[in-house]
Amino acid sequence: MSNKGKITPSILPGFMELLPNDQLAFNKMLNSIRESFELCGFVPLDTPVIEKAEILMAKGGEETERQTYSFKKGDNDLALRFDLTVPFARYVSQRMNELSFPFKRYQIGKVFRGERPQKGRFREFYQCDIDIVDRDNLSLAYDAEILSVTYTTFERLSIGGFLIKINNRKLLAGFIEEFGLSKKLSKILREIDKKDKTGEDSVKKELDSIGCTFEQIDKLMDYLNLNGTSDKILKALKSYDIKNETFQTGLNEMEELTKYLGYMNIPASCWKIDLSIARGLDYYTGTVFETVLKEYPEFGSVCGGGRYDNLAEYFTDQKLPGVGVSIGLTRLFDQLNENGLIKNDEAATSRVAVVTLGDYSEIAYGLVRNLRNNNIASEVLIAGTGLKKKLSMISKKGIRFAAILGENEIKNKVITVKDMDSGKQEEIYFENIVNFIKGA
């Protein structure tokens, strides 16, 4: 086709846009996540995509500012949200007196990061976040509750086995404090965080260049690689006989957390203590965790979260401890789809497509009205000529039933219903069609 003088239709690199079959599969995942969040008592929140730049940049950080889409409109400095946490912090501080605490909210929405696009990285992507915050204090039971929701969510997503790896920042910090290396804590955490990606040798080299001794590095590596049941790891942690308060608090918190995980009946096969989990973000202060898919460790962490002492320090003096988790849905969907793990053979929402052979529009539309009134998604297919072509269209779209109206059917007051899955067809009386479809 010539396309003279036209603008070539395209989107920017790093933005996901799907065809109907993939979009339906994506929405199924998104709806499943939302249902899990609501099942666990979280209430929805929807914050603006555009906020004041000073709000979104409150915490600062060169990396954040470089990645953020920001612009002026009139005299206002505006920006697009780059996560759902900063808007949540702003919201809670702003509406403090109108919310009841502990406040359990979920938010599912797009966030924007102007990164250099690369495979698996998106500039616009969905985050699915839950957080629980309270004023002044928040029980450790909520850390377990967040893990329980994470378990419920991945269980219901049905994307295969998963493992939630749990740690406590205080354990790591206390262990490093014991070496007298507290000042280098963030740098060391950042290196540890890379272990799964770059390998142990690379991390050792980096720790060496930071100024850790070989003995310290070896001890740290032994510590990070401690493996086994949670009971075994907790016993090993006690045997270290580290007396500093940070480590001891971390140990107590981890013990209490595992107690609650037991109460909540989270199967032992779905979680473990992993002392090497650090989480890159600075604001975590206690429990931290990541989730990996057992059969696809190469996907890396498909969700992560943890406990923070103070959500909104840039906006309010009120201390707001919280705990939360975030699922990066766009990337997860992309990875699953790349690996052929997404069932995407439907390109329609209709369960029934009505086809007429002759001028039976009035009956066809009446039939569809009846089906829709009974919550059966349906439509009249008027495109295509000839039954064969029409049936092929219905099959291609993945619509389950073709309801055929021809001269014979009209005479006998029946519809020929063809099950496109089995190929079987039978004649159904007009008045029985709803029950037939519902029962199928």
The interface with its own copies within residues 163-222 (CB under 8 A) comprises: none
Of the candidate residues 32, 47, 244, 310, the single one contacting its own copies (CB under 8 A): 47
Give the one residue of 154, 299, 308, 315 binding its own copies; rule: CB under 8 A: 315
Looking at the Cβ atoms of 341 and 393, the one nearer to its own copies is: 393
Q: Does 101 bind its own copies (CB under 8 A)?
A: yes
Query: Which one-letter amino acid corresponds to residue 5?
Result: G
Strands (DSSP E) contained in 253-320 are 271-273, 284-293, 303-308
Are 244 and 177 in contact by the 8 Å Cβ rule? The answer is yes
**Rounded to whole angstroms, how far apart are CA atoms 422 and 427?**
15
If one asks whether residue 44 binds its own copies (CB under 8 A), the answer comes out as yes
d(CA 397, CA 377): 14
Binding-site member from 75, 76, 297, 402 for its own copies (CB under 8 A): 76
Write the single-letter amino acid at 50.
I
Sign of CA dihedral 201, 203, 208, 214: negative
- Decide whether 104 or 195 has the Cβ nearer to its own copies: 104
Q: Which amino acid is at 275?
A: L
- The distance of closest approach from Cβ of residue 401 to its own copies in the complex, given in angstroms and rounded to an integer, is 12
In degrees and rounded to multiples of 5, residue 229 shows phi and psi of -65, 165
Which of 268, 377 has the CB closer to its own copies? 377
Residues 49-68 that bind its own copies (CB under 8 A): 49-52, 54-55, 58
Of residues 215-274, those binding its own copies (CB under 8 A): 260, 262-265
Alpha helices (H) in 95-213, listed in sequence order: 141-157, 169-178, 185-193, 195-198, 200-210
Q: Which of 90, 195, 279, 307 binds its own copies (CB under 8 A)?
A: 90
Q: Which amino acid is at 10?
A: S
Q: Does 17 bind its own copies (CB under 8 A)?
A: yes
378-380: strand order across its sheet: 378-380, 352-356, 401-405, 414-419, 425-429
Of 176, 189, 312, 433, which lies in the binding site for its own copies, with binding defined by CB under 8 A?
A: 312
| Nearest alpha-carbon partner for 138 in 92, 195, 204 | 92
Residue listed under structure tokens 């073709």: 402
When asked if residue 117 is in the footprint of its own copies (CB under 8 A), the reply is no
Span from 1-9, 166-174, 206-214, 420-428 in contact with its own copies (CB under 8 A)? 1-9
Contact set for its own copies, span 380-409 (CB under 8 A): 380, 382-383, 393, 396-397
> Binding residue for its own copies (CB under 8 A) from 85, 130, 133, 134?
134
User: Is position 19 an interface residue for its own copies (rule: CB under 8 A)?
Assistant: yes
Under the binding rule (CB under 8 A), the answer on residue 319 touching its own copies is: no
Q: Using the minimum distance from each CB to its own copies, give the nearer residue, 260 or 289.
A: 260
| Residue 6 near its own copies by CB under 8 A | yes
Closer Cβ to its own copies, 139 or 182, answer by number:
139
List b or e across 103-126, with b for residues whose CB sees 16 or more CB atoms inside 10 angstroms.
bbbbbbbbbbbeeeeeeeebbbbb
Residues 354, 361: Cα–Cα separation, whole Å: 10
| CA separation for the pair 396, 342 (Å, rounded) | 17
According to CB under 8 A, which residues from 324 to 363 bind its own copies?
347-350, 353, 361-362
Q: Is 283 in the site for its own copies (CB under 8 A)?
A: no
